[in-house]
Amino acid sequence: MQQSTLVTAVIALTAAACSGQRPAGADSSMPQNNSVSAACSPLETRTAEAASQKPAMSGQTRACGVTSETAYDVTVLSKGLVHPWAVEPLPNGDLLVTERPGRLRIVSAAGVLGEPITGLPAMDARGQGGLLDVALSPTFATDNSIYWSFSEPRTGGNATSVARGVLSADRRSVSAVRVIYQAKPIYDGDMHFGSRLAFGPDGMLYVTLGERSDTPMRPQAQQLASDMGKILRLKSDGGIPEDNPFVDSVGASRAIWTRGHRNVQAAAFDANGRLWEVEQGTRGGDELNLVQKGKNYGWPLQAYGIEYSGAMPISSPAGVSATTLPGVEQPVYYWDPVIAPSGMQWYTGDAFPAWKGNLFIGGMKNRLLVRLVLRDGRVNGEEHMLADRKQRVRDVRQGADGFLYIVTDEDNGELWKVSPKK
């Protein structure tokens, strides 16, 4: 159902009031409490790939455009990185950075690029595979443990694995390396490995996995015997928590937390301890989801967008996909055309007070950083930032200083620091 101009304006101005920005198209002198003098203009104005598809609820796509009034500087801390995939701030201000070909490095707070850290296991660095995410253990301060995900070569193909190791005092190597989880089944492909790692307030490790992209693999996103197209929940040693939703289901992978995902490239917990994820769609249909225990997120039975070939709708085990199905979760928000999301951060710092509570998401398709303003669990404002730099934003993380740190997925990738303007 279409929102009226009045309601749209109220939503736009509510977004502005709660996060320090005005709706796009609003006069800069307009009072913040004027709820009817300016109408909302959606940020996305391009024709949708699936123009005949309609959102299941108001505000699910094409949110009001908002413009930040927060002044900031972007400092290039490092160049010459080869397809960096993840950045993880360390407590002392240095940063761990993964490069997809299989290198883990430290970039100092001053921007000095370290040599590759030794001790990592072999990786199948083809296509979208290689070294992927990296995360500090919740007990890093006492044991220097880190976790990483990677595409592991196995007999007959490869699959995503998660490993744990101890970072040496001089930060040049990892020791006591152990692969704590090997996703199954094995598949000889080079796409849709996932994979983000996020420790929850419960101390558990949440791991996102893609469904490996190829059409014959799609049905596995719905199959409980497969880890593909799932979010997993593990103990810190790789064990299975007894309260996982499918631990007593015969034949199911006991690690599964949720199913029906395509290629989850971002996962982060908000200030209330809720897990959110963003996954890539086909042509249209990138999704933002609130992750809830045992839920089904639809892929490939339910999806927005069309096939890469231009065929519509999307092929699924049922023949074609639908945009709404009983018992299947709807995305909180979706993009059509896509942004190709990767990496996300709920902002909780003090360096940018106006951004507190906003969600930042990397955008690789249009080479930008997306800022979402949410209210009561719904998106009511969207801004595209850093587009002038024309680089694929692969990951964004918040440091202890409250600054944002970003890596760009290029042959000559960069590490950026976003800090308040001096």
pLDDT digits (tens, 9 = 90+) for 106-123: 999 999 999 999 999 999
Question: Sorting pLDDT into bands at 50, 70 and 90, what band is 16?
Answer: very low
The pLDDT, as a whole number, for residue 40 is 86
Residue-wise DSSP of 201-270: TTSPEEEE----SSGGGGGGGT-TT--TT-EEEE-TTSPPPTTSTTTTSTTS-TTEEEB--S-EEEEEE-
Radius of gyration of the chain (CA): 21
The pLDDT, as a whole number, for residue 5 is 34
The pLDDT, as a whole number, for residue 3 is 36
The type of residue at 397 is R
How many CB atoms sit inside 10 A of residue 270's CB?
15
Question: Sorting pLDDT into bands at 50, 70 and 90, what band is 319?
Answer: confident
Question: How large is the average pLDDT for residues 361-387?
Answer: 97
8 A C-beta contact, residue 206 and residue 267: yes
What are the CA-CA distances from residue 191 to residues 44, 129, 194, 228 (Å)? 28, 7, 9, 12
Q: Which of 25-39, 138-152, 402-416 has the lowest mean pLDDT?
A: 25-39
Q: 387: helix, coil or strand?
A: helix
Reported in sequence order, the residue ranges of 108-228 that DSSP labels E, i.e. its strands, are 131-136, 145-154, 157-167, 174-182, 197-199, 205-208
Of the two residues 102 and 2, the one the predictor is more confident about is 102
pLDDT-above-70 percentage for the chain: 91
Fold of the 42-420 domain = Neuraminidase (2.120.10)
The pLDDT, as a whole number, for residue 9 is 34
In this predicted model, what pLDDT tens digit does every residue of 241-254 receive, in sequence order? 999 999 999 999 99
Here the tokens at position 40 are 């909302």
The pLDDT, as a whole number, for residue 79 is 97
pLDDT-above-90 percentage for the chain: 89
8 A C-beta contact, residue 181 and residue 238: yes
β-pair partners for 231: 208, 258
Question: How large is the average pLDDT for residues 316-340?
Answer: 95
Residue 260 CB-density burial (10 A; 0-12 exposed, 13-18 middle, 19+ buried) = buried
Here the tokens at position 353 are 């007070």
Catalytic sites, residue numbers: 192
8 A C-beta contact, residue 209 and residue 230: yes
The helix or strand, by DSSP H or E, that contains position 141, with its residue range, turns out to be helix 140-143
Here the tokens at position 422 are 């001096």
The pLDDT, as a whole number, for residue 11 is 33
β-pair partners for 349: none
- Does residue 380 surpass a pLDDT of 60? yes
The pLDDT, as a whole number, for residue 318 is 82
Residue 277: which residues within 8 A CB-CB, separation 6 or more?
A: 196, 208, 231, 261, 264, 266, 267, 288, 289, 291
Where do the structural domains in the chain lie, given as residue ranges?
Answer: 1-39, 42-420
